[in-house]
Structures are given as C-alpha cells and as structure tokens.
Amino acid sequence: SDLWFGGDDDKSFLHARDDADFAAMKRLEGTMINASSIEEAGHICLRYLRRAREIQSLSEPSRFVYQSGQDCFGRHVVILLGARLPPLGLQDERTIPLFVKELEALQREKFLLLYVNSEVDNTDTSILEVLQEMLAVIQ
C-alpha cells in the first residue's frame, strides 16, 4: 500500500536530509566572516588547517604571504602582498589555507602581520573580503 504523508510534521521529516545536506555544504563552503556560530567558525577553521597541510606552497614569484625575519622585539614578521593575492579571492580555495600554512610554521609564536597595498586595484573588493577573512582566522 502507498504511504501517505498528511501532516506538516511528516513533510518536515522528509526535508530533514535536505537540511543536513545544506548544513554540511555550508561548512564546506562557508567563511569565518559569515559563520553564524562559534561552532560553525570552528569547523571552518579546521577545514582551513586540514587544507593547509595538504597543499604545496606557491613558487617564490607567486607567493603572496611569507616570513621576513624578526622585528626588534623578536616577533616574526609576516608580509602579505596585496598585489599577489589570488585574483579570485576567497573563491580560490587555496587563498586562506596558504595564509594559514605560513602562520602554522610559526608554531604559535608572536608575529607581526604587515600588509603591502602597492599595485592593488582600488576597485577590487575581493581583496577586502580576503583581508576580513584573514583577520577572522587570526582572532
């Protein structure tokens, strides 16, 4: 015999899988700046860490983040070159993990982040979005 779903409760049960799939996709594609909870931000951060350990660093001419020694207080200096950020910004799934990879190498030591804005197109809003995400990651 055919099953009949008559009430709203029955229909909501049928959509439970869609809701779970949507939540999983949100964790896989979400950003720290758009996270709706601390738990969601934690999942996103773990995703960045896993990805950072999997990907290879860019070649020297393409690198947008690198360490440059230490300042007079012994803090590591990390340089971020705006002109070399991937043109797709956060849509390039390597952007934030490459940043995280560089910070991971510091082993939780203090650092100074220096952003260089030379040769950056002022109308490119993807750079601001990337910088916001990077700030969210290090907070």
Nearest CA to 66 out of 110, 99, 92, 93 is that of 99
CB 132 within 8 A of CB 33: yes
pLDDT < 70: residue spans in the chain: 1-28
The pLDDT assigned to 77 comes to: 97
Residue 75's contacts (CB-CB under 8 Å, 6 or more residues apart) are 109, 110, 111, 112
Question: How far apart are alpha carbons 116 and 60 in whole angstroms?
Answer: 17
The pLDDT assigned to 7 comes to: 59
The pLDDT assigned to 139 comes to: 85
The pLDDT assigned to 72 comes to: 97
The pLDDT assigned to 32 comes to: 87
The pLDDT assigned to 11 comes to: 62
Pairing of strands 65-70, 76-81: antiparallel
